[in-house]
Amino acid sequence: MSRPRPALGHFAFLVALVGTALPTPSCAPEQREIVVYCALDQEHAATILEEFTKKTGIHVVPRFDDEITKSVGLTKSILLERDHPRADVFWNNEIVQTILLQGAGVLAPYASPSAADIPAEWKDPANHWTGFAARARILIVNTNKTPADKFPSSYKDFVDPARKGEAAFAKPVAGTTSTHFCVLHELLGAGAAKAWFDAAVANGSGILAGNGPVMREVREGRYAWGFTDTDDFHVAELDDYPVKAVYPDQGDGELGCLVIPNTIALVKGAPHAEDAKQFIDYVLSKEVERSLAFGRSAQIPVRADVEAPTHVRRIASLKLMKVDFVKAAVWFEKLPR
């Protein structure tokens, strides 16, 4: 005996019932995300990006720079994309390129509540950028190549004929090295800064691709000492290379040591501006500045009350270069290439 077919109306009801039980693609929640252009080394920034996503559910799509074009490559991208921004946030590992972007009108003001206790000297008065987690420009010294009584102590040692061929620094085209040279031009004057650079080259100073290469060449003993940043030095120190850090020009009448902060800024016309502000708030928190101090990059908190390990020098313990970064940035296009 054949089974009776269900009535059409009953079949249509079942189809409709099943249809309501199945989710459709349009019902899936849209993933929140932001795009961050980040000049800080990926190994130092990645954990912070991941922790932000865990805390907020906002996915971070990062774009990192390479050693040679540090900050400059990302700066050029932001300028090229100014009519149709792709980046929401620019996390720079220095300050001059950020100031140049501000001057080009591609950054939006944002006064993060997390920045309220950051000292004024590390912030743009109009809130286009905020500085945090700094690095010092130091002389990394190979102790196997240089006796303690022969340690360099000043940028002037690069031009000392008795030290011919001993030292190296990065080509001043990007990153903190370009910031350093901009500052020297501002403090010494263009003529004196150029004369120092030419004399350093004539004295056999190596001109390398970046601060990382300077650190590696010194730790391996191919150069006795050179200019690099505290984060690069700390990596060599952690890996048990025979290196010491010298904070230069600390004596009476000397120029002082240059300290350069990371900077963070909201891109004008950011596609995800509100979520980007949450990210900026997080990165400027004491929690993140402490994390960067205790990490391999050993960054220096700009707030005196943020905890840091004993090997991280406090800003208050250093004689600093007296620099106006805005004025220094004007020299960027005039640097030796």
Q: Which pLDDT does position 332 carry in this prediction?
A: 93
* Residue 22 pLDDT exceeds 60: no
The class (CATH top level) of 135-246 is alpha beta
Token pair of 325, please? 């970064």
Give tens-digit pLDDT for 188-218.
999 999 999 999 999 999 999 999 999 999 9
Classify burial at 179, counting beta carbons within 10 Å of its beta carbon; exposed 0-12, middle 13-18, buried 19 or more. Answer: buried
Quick one: average pLDDT of 283-298?
97
* Residue 1 pLDDT exceeds 90: no
Domain boundaries, the chain: 33-134+259-309, 135-246
Quick one: average pLDDT of 44-66?
95
Give tens-digit pLDDT for 90-136.
999 999 999 999 999 999 999 999 999 999 999 999 999 999 999 99
Q: Which pLDDT does position 204 carry in this prediction?
A: 98
Q: How far apart are CA 289 and CA 307, in angstroms?
A: 9
Quick one: average pLDDT of 49-54?
97
CATH number of 33-134+259-309: 3.40.190.10
* Residue 279 pLDDT exceeds 90: yes
Quick one: average pLDDT of 281-286?
98
Q: Are 291 and 306 in contact (CB under 8 A)?
A: no
Which residues lie across from 91 on neighbouring strands? 38, 264
From 67, 63, 75, 36, select the one nearest 332 (Cα to Cα): 75
